[in-house]
Amino acid sequence: MKSTVLKHPMQPSPSSVWHCGFPLRLGVAVMATLLITSVTGCKQPPPAAQPPPIVQVMVVTATNVPLSTEFIGQLDSPQNVEVRARVEAFVDQVLFTEGTELKEGDPLFKLDDKPFLERLAAANGMLAEAKAALNKYEKDVARLRPLAEKRAIPQQDLDNAIASVDVGQANVLSAQARVESAKLDLSYCDVKAPVSGLIGAKLVSVGSLVGKGEPTLLATISTLDPIWFYCAISEVDYLRAQRIAGRKLGETRPELILADGSEFPEPGKWVFLDRAVDVSTGTIRARAEFPNAGKVLRPGMFARVRVSLKTEKDSILIPQRAVLELQGRNFVWLVGEGNRASQRAIKAGVQIGSDWLITEGLKTGDRLIVEGVQKVRNDAEVQPLTAAEMARNTAAAAGPAKEKE
């Protein structure tokens, strides 16, 4: 009996399975190949190496460095004379121009002198009366003396006459003093310049009552040539200046620097150093004198004096911005062989303007990084350029930008 195999209507024949399976396996392989190819194509190329950072360098050189110190102070006149009213009176005239140079004896004010003329006339009258009384007493003595010698009159009468002469002489002296006082008060009505100098603004006007109760300030005159510079020098600065200079501070020549930074052309000299340090401030009061023929310098101006102490020969001076501080130590960045940056500790001395005087750690020929230290790392390569080279690069980059505009 022959057996019969039943087939499912959807079951493929062996031949159809083989023909259909080849395309399926081929498609899977193609898809895998495309996937691998696509993944491989998405990979980014490795980034290009960054160029070394640009830094500005300077070549360290030795030079002669003048050491100096500065003190802050104020200018003042050697003589500020206050002109005050010495008598009580009204101002009749103002006889000067404010802010001008005056000579000693020049008229300044005229006060009302009529009351003082009256007092002088009364004092002269009293003097004349006293002189007349004295004359009478002297004649009485001359008349009574012979009679007393002949005992024609009592001796007491002669003694009284002589005493009257003494009183009369005293009265004359008193009257003369009143005349001199009246003349002096009258002279105070003509107010004159007590010294030569520059007068300031008038502080009273015509018609003002002055001298009532106290001497009224009328104006102030200041002598300006020479002029003084006052300052307070700290104890530390005083000792440091003398140690560096190797001589007394008073033997140095101060140079005056005005508030606008300009230097006064004439050097000065120290004329006073106080005997002791002020314990409340720790400073020594000092005074320097400067010629002022042109009257450019005025009292009250703030200024500085610079004192040259000595010159340090073959010294190294570098910009302050190139010096970095870390944990109380100073260091700088240098460019060595292969343009590689390295850090070096240094010792800085005194500060001179915007520079530091280096006492240890640098030598002539070192290439010092002065700009761009924040971009460098130890033993990393840099691109060193001098200030002139950086300026040329900046100018070259600015040229095309202007052409595009």
Query: Of 283, 284, 304, 296, nearest to 229 (Cα)?
Result: 304
Question: In the prediction, which pLDDT does 173 show?
Answer: 93
pTM: 0.64
Report the sign of the C-alpha dihedral through residues 171, 176, 179, 184, in that order: negative
Report the sign of the C-alpha dihedral through residues 312, 315, 320, 326, in that order: negative
CA atoms within 13 A on the CB side of 379: 0
Cβ atoms of residues 57 and 204 within 8 Å: no
b/e per residue, 339-349, with b = 16+ CB within 10 A? ebbebeebebb
Question: In the prediction, which pLDDT does 170 show?
Answer: 93
Question: In the prediction, which pLDDT does 62 show?
Answer: 85
Q: Which residues contact 301 (CB under 8 A, 6 or more apart)?
A: 74, 75, 258, 259
Question: In the prediction, which pLDDT does 73 show?
Answer: 93
Report the SS3 class of residue 166.
helix
pLDDT digits (tens, 9 = 90+) for 15-52: 444 344 444 454 555 455 554 545 444 556 666 667 88
DSSP class of 46: P
User: For residues 184 and 188, what is the distance between their CA atoms, to the nearest angstrom?
Assistant: 6
Question: In the prediction, which pLDDT does 203 show?
Answer: 92
Cβ atoms of residues 61 and 367 within 8 Å: no
Q: 241: exposed, middle or buried (C-beta count within 10 Å: 0-12, 13-18, 19+)? A: buried
> What is the secondary structure of 181-199 as a DSSP string?
HHHHHHHTTEEE-SSSEEE
Q: Which residues contact 113 (CB under 8 A, 6 or more apart)?
A: 89, 186, 189, 190
pLDDT digits (tens, 9 = 90+) for 385-404: 888 888 887 777 766 655 55
User: For residues 111 and 291, what is the distance between their CA atoms, to the nearest angstrom?
Assistant: 37
User: For residues 268 and 402, what is the distance between their CA atoms, to the nearest angstrom?
Assistant: 53
User: For residues 69 and 54, what is the distance between their CA atoms, to the nearest angstrom?
Assistant: 37
pLDDT of the chain, 405 residues: tens digit per residue? 444 444 444 444 444 443 444 444 545 554 555 545 454 445 566 666 678 888 888 888 888 887 778 899 999 999 999 999 999 999 999 998 998 899 999 999 999 999 999 999 999 999 999 999 889 888 888 888 888 888 888 888 888 888 988 988 999 999 999 999 999 999 999 999 999 999 999 999 999 999 888 889 999 999 998 999 999 999 988 888 888 877 888 888 899 999 988 899 888 999 999 999 999 999 999 999 999 988 889 999 999 998 888 787 888 888 888 888 888 888 888 988 888 889 888 888 777 778 888 888 888 888 888 888 888 888 888 888 888 888 887 777 766 655 555
Cβ atoms of residues 254 and 229 within 8 Å: yes
User: For residues 132 and 146, what is the distance between their CA atoms, to the nearest angstrom?
Assistant: 23
User: For residues 310 and 240, what is the distance between their CA atoms, to the nearest angstrom?
Assistant: 12
DSSP class of 98: T
Structure tokens at 395: 């100018």
